[in-house]
Amino acid sequence: MKAINGIKFTTLLTGILGVSLPSFACPDMQGSYLVEQGKTQLYVQKKGTETYQVVLDIPTYPLMMKTATLVSEKDQKANTYQTPLPDCTLKIADFGYLIPYKNGSVYNLHFDSQDFQKVFKTDFVLKLSDTPDGVMGVNKTGSSLPAKAIDAFGKK
């Protein structure tokens, strides 16, 4: 079985054991990410076991710093109208969610009493809101961080 960002192994063990695995089973989330169909980038730096710092690099805006945490099991299932968030989802404070995603699979979304489906050709989904336009594909471009992100992390 080929692992996709470590998710298949996590899903298999979760199904067998019937419990969520601790965060050490998650893939390394630190690195650089590029939003599909745009130039927006996210830089993620691990700070603790389940905590991260994120720099948002949105064209024509100054760099923005956010904190992020792995979503708890309780929060994963909190919204009954949406698909539960998978293990290893990062909640970026006051911004959205960086969600591990199986490239090419269907992403289900419920908005305004309607069901929507999207297919992304990426390894992550960035969910900014529950609207169809508030969900976009994201690819991890590398595990290293550029100098501007390291500088921004150093200023915090």
* Residue 154 CB partners (closer than 8 Å, separation 6+): none
Query: Percent of the chain at pLDDT above 90?
Result: 47
Task: Judge contact between 91 and 69, C-beta under 8 A.
Answer: yes
In b/e form, how buried is each residue of 75-109, taking b as 16+ CB within 10 angstroms?
Answer: eeeeeeeeeebbbbbbbbeebbbbbbbbeeeebeb
pLDDT of residue 15: 44
pLDDT of residue 82: 64
Domain ranges of the chain: 7-155
> What is the mean predicted confidence (pLDDT) over 39-50?
92
115 forms beta bridges with: 110
pLDDT of residue 10: 44
Longest dimension (CA), the chain: 47
Q: Which amino acid is at 111?
A: F
pLDDT of residue 17: 43
More confident residue, 22 or 117: 117
pTM score of the predicted model: 0.79
**Rounded CA separation 14/26 (Å):** 12
Per the structure block, which two tokens stand in for 31?
Answer: 């690195």
> What is the mean predicted confidence (pLDDT) over 60-69?
95
Task: Judge contact between 9 and 25, C-beta under 8 A.
Answer: yes
Q: Grade residue 79 by pLDDT with cuts at 50, 70 and 90.
A: low
pLDDT at residue 11 is higher than 70 = no
Round the average pLDDT of the chain to a whole number and report it. Answer: 81
Across 17-26, 112-121, 139-148, least confident range? 17-26
Return the closest-CA partner of residue 92 out of 40, 141, 56: 56
pLDDT of residue 33: 97
